[in-house]
Chain A
Amino acid sequence: MTTKTPNGTEPAQKIEEKLYQNRYLVDSGRPHVKVKDHTEPTAELKMLVNVCPAGCYSISEQGKVEVVPDGCMECGTCRIITAESGDIEWNYPRGGYGVSFKFG
């Protein structure tokens, strides 16, 4: 059987555009997710760049994994993946801060 439709080849919508619709109250200067200092990211830490549904993780020019949790939907996926490697610190935002779903 042949595949006629593009199979993931079309450029996906940018994650920033998706998050733009969401409502957030960012707790400036108090990120609730932090990557612990490292020289070489572990395999688990590198996975977060793709697996985070909000695209909060990226790799810096120095090859380190960084997080900007402003668009975080507080799902917890990154915490679970790195639970054993211990690469990140994950807390809920302070009460009232973070994402507020309108429809959920």
Chain B
Amino acid sequence: MPQERFDAIVVGAGPAGNATAYTLAKGGLNVLQIERGEYPGAKNVQGAILYADALEKLIPDFRDDAPLERHVIEQRIWMMDDTSHTGMSYRSDDFNEERPNRYTILRSQFDRWFSSKVREAGATLLCETTVTELLKDGKGRVIGVLTDRHGGPILADVVVMAEGVNGLVGQRSGLREELKPKTVALAVKETHFLPQEVVENRFNLTGDAGVVIEAMGTITQGMTGTGFLYTNRESVSVGIGCIVGDFAASGVTPYSLLDRFKRHPSIAPLIAGSEVKEYAAHLIPEGGYNAMPEIVGEGWVVAGDAAHLVNAVHREGSNLAMTSGRIAGETIVWLKRRREPCTAKNLAEYRRRLEDSFVLKDMKKYRKIPAMLHSNPRIFGLYPRLLNAVAQTFFRVDGQDKRTKEAQIIRTVRSQRGIGGLIGDAVKLARAWR
């Protein structure tokens, strides 16, 4: 194949890569997007929740034809022990609006749709092709890529690495470090199929409305992590994820943790009788702002999971990916129009724009949270257990007078965690949250 030259090469066709390639192509640039999967989405895994705002900024009328499962009208947060859960939930008819803000999606199908929009915008997509190396000139400037399919190099003015959490291309080119076991979570999930009306009956839903459940507690067996259950049109996505270092230290197998979560008496009836059609695993970069690598350099930028852009507290990632991809694309188009080269100095504008967006504002706001959570295993074990013990004492009517019950509750709390410890943990959380 003769040597080709593009304005930009985008590595990856997930939310970050598609958002970048779409923006670049719409901006009139000659874009090559390279995806290692058989089709866009083949290698991609997410819970998955789509945040409308981030996509709307790219494709305002996406609701017309995007493969959406259900718009979310109810969020449940469950603190679980082995037999119970204490829940907080918010459900509102206000979410049944003209342009809902959150949807459940099946990523593999959604990514294929998103990619079709990218190609309509004019980008060239090359699937089944793995980028093996970045090409650099004598001065260390990135000038293109090598792949496992094309003999020759493919050249471009800028390479956008939207290659996902594993990010081998950037790592092996010495642009960023390997992930650390304590800054990344491993999540496993299954897609459970049920008739549409069964999903709707079990979750008290009508039409396209959906429920999402986020859960924490003894389900992670002392590890830092959370479980989830999302309703799709005629399936339910059930998963659980914990910090990789915790899995390694505990010796708990991820699939047995998932099976145990599925057998929990609060979860089992919701998925009873379902047919599992897929089991998936994926890493989530959860080290927060402090774990972020460099995101711009000579002839390159990084977006999405590869840039460690995940807000673990709010379970947001795909919207940070799409937004960072869009902003990377906008910056490159802006430079091109000014006829300025994609040097590290010029591309630093991408970082400045990200700082002005919710992406880096939120990453910075929660910068202390990952370390705080990881050093306080009580949050995932003791507190959920305590909360459920208190709830049971409070709600069980057994002939005991209320004053005695209250004293019993206080005794339980004190014996498990002194008042000083409770206050200390609350202060730590508040400080990290600020």
Contact = CB atoms under 8 A, between A and B. Distances in A.
Nearest to B105: A104
A10 B147 CA distance: 47
Interface stretch (A1-9, A34-42, A60-68): A1-9
A75 B186 contact: yes
A104 B279 contact: no
B392 A1 contact: yes
Interface stretch (B24-32, B204-212, B249-257): B249-257
Nearest to A18: B279
B255 A12 contact: yes
A21 B282 contact: no
Nearest to B279: A18
Interface string B239-267: 00000100110011111100110011100
A70 B188 CA distance: 18
A26 interface: no
A54 B188 CA distance: 10
Contact of A8 (B106, B148, B260, B265): B260
Interface of A is mostly: loop
B277 A4 contact: no
B244 A103 contact: no
A4 B392 CA distance: 14
A80 B38 CA distance: 25
B232 to A, nearest CB: 9
A102 B44 CA distance: 10
A95 B247 CA distance: 30
B406 interface: no
A82 to B, nearest CB: 10
Interface in A76-103: 76-77, 79-81, 83, 91-96, 98-103
B104 to A, nearest CB: 11
Nearest to B112: A104
A101 B83 contact: no
A95 B389 contact: no
Given A1-B392, A74-B43, A21 B82 contact: no
Given A1-B392, A80-B181, A101 B44 contact: yes
Closest 6 CB pairs of A and B: A96-B128, A104-B108, A104-B107, A53-B281, A18-B279, A95-B128
Interface of A: 1, 3-8, 10, 12-13, 15, 18-19, 21-22, 25, 44, 47, 50-51, 53-55, 73-77, 79-81, 83, 91-96, 98-104
29 contacts: A5-B264, A5-B265, A10-B259, A47-B251, A51-B186, A51-B254, A73-B45, A76-B179, A77-B186, A80-B178, A80-B244, A81-B248, A95-B128, A96-B36, A96-B38, A96-B128, A98-B43, A99-B42, A101-B107, A103-B107, A103-B108, A103-B191, A103-B235, A103-B277, A103-B280, A104-B41, A104-B44, A104-B45, A104-B48
Interface of B: 36-39, 41-46, 48, 81-83, 106-109, 111, 127-130, 147-149, 165-166, 168, 178-181, 184, 186, 188, 190-191, 221, 235, 237, 244, 247-248, 251-256, 259-260, 263-265, 276-283, 385, 388-389, 392
